[in-house]
Amino acid sequence: MNQDRPTKKTTIYDLAELAGTSASAVSAVLNGNWKKRRISSQLAEKITRLAEEQGYAINMQASLLRREKSKIIGMIVPKYDNRYFGSIVETFETMARERGLFPIITCTRRDPELEVEAARTMLSYQVEWLVSTGATDPDRISDICGAAGVGSLNLDLPGTKAPSVISDNFTGARELTRRILVNSERKLGAARPLLFIGGRGSDHNTAERVRGFRAAHADIGIPVDERHILTCGYAPEKAEMSLQALAMAEREVPSGMFVNSTISLEGVMRWIKRSGHYVDHSPVMGCFDWDPFAALLGDEIEMVRQDVQGMLNAVFEVIDHGARGASLIEIPPVFVDSNYALINDPMV
Amino acid sequence: MNQDRPTKKTTIYDLAELAGTSASAVSAVLNGNWKKRRISSQLAEKITRLAEEQGYAINMQASLLRREKSKIIGMIVPKYDNRYFGSIVETFETMARERGLFPIITCTRRDPELEVEAARTMLSYQVEWLVSTGATDPDRISDICGAAGVGSLNLDLPGTKAPSVISDNFTGARELTRRILVNSERKLGAARPLLFIGGRGSDHNTAERVRGFRAAHADIGIPVDERHILTCGYAPEKAEMSLQALAMAEREVPSGMFVNSTISLEGVMRWIKRSGHYVDHSPVMGCFDWDPFAALLGDEIEMVRQDVQGMLNAVFEVIDHGARGASLIEIPPVFVDSNYALINDPMV
DNA sequence: TTGAAAGCGCTAACAG
DNA sequence: CTGTTAGCGCTTTCAA
């Protein structure tokens, strides 16, 4: 507040001088360790008041240098452009703070180089744990952390060198597919094979979801058309182009779709709108992820919401109790009734 | 990599010993200051190689403690649940890194207490600048920073004690309103007064947008119905309830709306869908913010996209050149053709 | 009850 | 060309 020379920050030495005591006393008081060092409550109060008056803020760099633990926890996240990652970040921050940890988060924009650079930077800041969310090469990051004796954890996409917390993609996709097929049957009279679109065939989650997709078709005994499994990447344009190419190649347009992410769904919806193929009969749809506006699109679109709270509970379970194997923890996703989807959004 | 005792981290002393040289030489080499200290390139290379081998990571706490500048820049942000803030955070991170700054971001969930706590924590970490995004009480934060001699800046919502970078809400709202009115005329035969919904009447942005809304009506000489200015807050439920209450009170339902944010738009769209008032004739709409799925909703909905890149250019202009007055910088928002809205999304 | 002092890992004079 | 040294602000014995 009443700081006259804003250039230099108040230190515990300044406070000690003002209070006519020593820096160690100030430190003890300000850290609440003063019951142990039976400091007179009078002195304690004086110090506290002075600190307040001077707008004192501890220098964490100095404090952490001296301490053994940094209480800093890092997370890298690919993007901030959808509800899923947004919710992960927000929940992570909250849970970290609840534990007295200081979260630092950085967005690596799906760039492998940035990922490792970010990991190194976080190590420089002495993070005690690093959570890699949706990382392209999680094992690389685990190696870097491992070399520095820092724990790492994978979220959303699994790795083999650290505990991984992911959605139960297989079961979720199987159930989502089942629901779309049921809607297809209700709407079209008979269940017809669906199209799968979005994601990279090489990534674990997409592979598992394709497996669930196949299983659900097998469950009711209808065949999957291999040309209708379009793991074309995540970007909206990729999805749009794939569908366009498919429509050009075939005379019929898909009557139902399993869309692998909201980001792919953007491209799918755009194509549906622009192509003009569906003016009277919109396709039966499902999306492995959730978005409030997408929920309002078209007649009805089944959506799975990944259980972010559940996943982060598992993450902090590991952190709190320090397990370090390369276990794979799969969290069942949640199916939302589209009418209640918005109401139940924990982020609103 | 080949670190046998993962407990203790490698320091420059370890490296110095391994290289048979001193810590200061190591420090100089690792910081690239070795042209000044004409160190033999042979030694430099040896040190670099050793650092690599040992997986050495500088201890920032120690480095920053010694340095005068921390190169850390903080941002507080209310939520991660919409494209606007997501884009702000992502752009901010990128631009900070381009300048060699380390961004730390924290989400305060529109909680005034958390805001000041976060600001204090950031000061402890020696941030050089703090950007308050959409803060409920930006001046409070400026005071706290000012007392510590740290620069602060307001983004999205203005304050009076630090430079503020915001959208040109008045002009943007006036143009958005004009466009909705034009659509209204085209669709309904005549321009009819619109309803304004969302936001807090007390916040600067909402007040300015309401002013622009009125101005656009005045421009074409049609009166605004005061009961149709519903600054009911941002939450979707608030918007939904307000509309519901209005519909109960009046026999007619609004034919056109200006929605103040995507978050309010969620509630509006839900009400439109649930209330059943608009089965054959959807209302003419506009939203002061942008979302890719919202862009695909209904017939057409005019959207303004706030110019995040432009706003952050202005933010870093201040930071790079160190202006500190309480200037107000207003950035014109951008009108997106709904057909190209997705293609132009810088975040995709 | 309290203060003095050492030292966390690093940087930047300064002295060779 | 290179090493020695003095701190940065804080925590934590240890001694008084």
Average the pLDDT over B127-135 and give the result.
97
Which CATH number among 3.40.50.300, 3.40.50.720, 3.40.50.2300, 3.30.43.10 corresponds to the domain A169-303? 3.40.50.2300
Indicate the average pLDDT of chain A. 90
Residues contacting residue B5 through CB under 8 Å, at least 6 positions apart: none
Q: In Å, what is the separation between the CA of B2 and the C1' of C16?
A: 37
Q: Which among A343, A256, A257, A255 is positioned nearest to A295, based on CA atoms?
A: A343
Which residues of chain A lie closer than 8 angstroms to B6, CB-CB?
146-149
For B347, the closest chain A residue by CA position comes to A81
Question: Where does chain A hold its CATH 1.10.260.40 domain(s)?
Answer: 9-66
Pairing of strands A199-200, A232-233: antiparallel
pLDDT at B4 over 60: no
Across B287-299, average pLDDT: 87
CA separation, residue A87 to residues A13, A305, B113 (Å): 42, 11, 21
What H or E segment, with its residue span, contains residue A335? Answer: strand A334-335
In three-state secondary structure terms, A129 is strand
DSSP element (H, E) containing A46:
helix A41-53
The reply to whether the CB atom of residue A39 sits less than 7 A from any atom in nucleic acid chain C is yes
User: 3-state DSSP call for residue B52?
Assistant: helix
Average pLDDT over residues A47-67: 91
Which of B 315-344 lie inside 8 A of A, CB atoms?
339, 342-343
The whole-angstrom separation of Cα A134 and Cα A157 is 5
Is B138:B159 a contact under the CB 8 Å cutoff? yes
Of A58, A293, A343, which is closest to B294 when you measure between CB atoms?
Answer: A293
Confidence of residue A341 (pLDDT cuts 50, 70, 90): very low
Q: What is the CATH number of domain B68-162+308-330?
A: 3.40.50.2300
Most confident of A286-295, B43-52, B165-174, B248-257: B165-174
**pLDDT value of residue B338:** 56
Interface test mutation site (partner A, options B293, B297, B303, max chain A beta carbons within 10 A)? B293
Nearest to B93 among A70, A107, A143 (CB): A107
Nucleotide nearest to B14 (CA to C1'): C9
CA dist., res. A198 & res. A213, Å (int): 13
Q: Out of A233-237, B27-31, B214-218, give the one with best mean pLDDT.
A: B214-218
- Which phi and psi (to 5°) does residue B200 adopt? -105, 130
- From A222's Cα to the closest Cα of chain B, the distance in A is 32
Q: CB-CB: which of A8, A87, A149 is closest to B7?
A: A149
Contacts of B267 in chain A (CB under 8 A): 342
CA A113 and chain centroid, separation:
19
How many other C-beta atoms can be found within 10 angstroms of the C-beta atom of residue B65?
18
What class, spelled out in words, does domain B9-66 have in CATH? mainly alpha
Between CA B64 and C1' D1 the distance (Å) reads 27
Other CB atoms within a 10 A radius of the CB of residue A184 amount to 21
Whether any strand C atom is under 7 angstroms from the Cβ of B40: the reply reads no
The DSSP H or E segment spanning A334 is: strand A334-335
**Smallest CA–CA distance from A67 into chain B, residue:** B61
Report pLDDT digits (tens) over B52-72.
988 899 999 999 999 888 999
Q: Distances in Å between the alpha carbon of B36 and those of B16, B24, B43, B249?
A: 19, 13, 15, 78
pLDDT tens digits along A141-181: 999 999 888 999 999 999 999 999 999 999 999 999 999 99
- For chain B residues 319-348, those near strand C by a CB cutoff of 7 A are none
Q: Are A206 and A172 in contact (CB under 8 A)?
A: no
Which chain A residue is nearest to residue B147, measuring alpha carbons? A1
Whether B266 sits inside 8 A of A123 (CB atoms) is: no
What number of CA atoms fall less than 13 Å from residue A294's CA on the CB side? 27
Strand ranges inside B192-306, DSSP E: 195-197, 199-200, 229-230, 232-233, 256-259, 284-287, 301-305
Distance B16 CA to D7 C1' (A): 20
Contacts (Cβ under 8 Å, ≥6 apart) of A33: A27
Q: Which residue of B has its CA nearest to A79?
A: B90
Distance CA B179, CA B173 (A): 10
User: CA distances (Å), B330 to each of B77, B126, B164, B168, B198, in order?
Assistant: 19, 29, 8, 5, 21
Contact partners, residue B199, CB within 8 Å, separation at least 6: B205, B206, B209, B231, B233, B234, B260, B261, B264
Which pLDDT value is given to residue A346? Answer: 43
Of B71, B90, B60, B107, give the one whose Cα is nearest residue A108.
B90
Residues 65-84 of A with CB under 8 A from B: 65, 70, 79-81, 83
What is the per-residue DSSP string for A176-210? HHHHHHHHHHHHHSS--PPEEE-EETTSHHHHHHH
Average pLDDT on B109-129 reads: 95
Q: Nearest residue to D2 (CA, C1')? A: B25
In the predicted model, what is the mean pLDDT of residues A217-225? 97
Residue bearing tokens 């078209």: A298
Q: Tell me the C-alpha distance between B10 and A202, whole Å.
A: 37
Token pair 């959208």 is found at B167
Q: What is the mean pLDDT of chain B?
A: 90
- B266 pLDDT above the threshold of 90: yes
pLDDT of residue A44: 87
Cβ contacts of A143 on chain B, cutoff 8 Å:
1
Whether A2 shows a pLDDT value over 80: the answer reads no
Q: What is the pLDDT of residue B324?
A: 66
> How confident is the model over A14-31, as a mean pLDDT?
90
Q: Can you name the residues that pair with B167 across neighbouring β-strands?
A: B331
User: Cβ of A55 < 7 Å from strand D?
Assistant: no
Q: Which residues of A touch B144 (CB under 8 A)?
A: 55
Q: Is the CB of A65 under 7 A from strand C?
A: yes
CA of A116 to C1' of C14 (A): 38
Chain A residues 12 to 31 with C-beta below 7 Å from nucleic strand D: 12-13, 23-24, 27-28, 30-31
Interface of A with B in 192-221 (CB under 8 A): none
C-alpha–C-alpha distance, residues A48 and A41, integer Å: 10
Long-range (24+ apart) CB contacts under 8 A made by B27-35 are: B30/B56, B30/B58
Residue A225 C-alpha, separation from nearest chain B C-alpha, in angstroms: 29
CA distance A10 to A17: 11
- Whether the Cβ atoms of residue A345 and residue A292 lie closer than 8 Å to each other: yes
Chain B residue with minimum CA distance to A143: B1
* Closest residue (Cα, C1') to D9: A62
Q: A122: Cβ–Cβ under 8 A, 6 or more apart, which residues?
A: A74, A76, A104, A106, A130
Percent of chain A at pLDDT exceeding 90: 69
Q: Where in chain B is the domain with CATH 3.40.50.2300?
A: 68-162+308-330, 169-303
Interchain contact B279–A (C-beta under 8 A): no
For B322, the 3-state DSSP assignment is coil
Where residue B140 falls (left for φ over 0; alpha for ψ -120 to 50; beta otherwise) is alpha
d(CA A169, CA A333): 8
For A119, phi and psi rounded to 5 degrees?
-60, -45
Find, among B292, A256, B271, B291, the residue nearest to B283 by Cα: B271
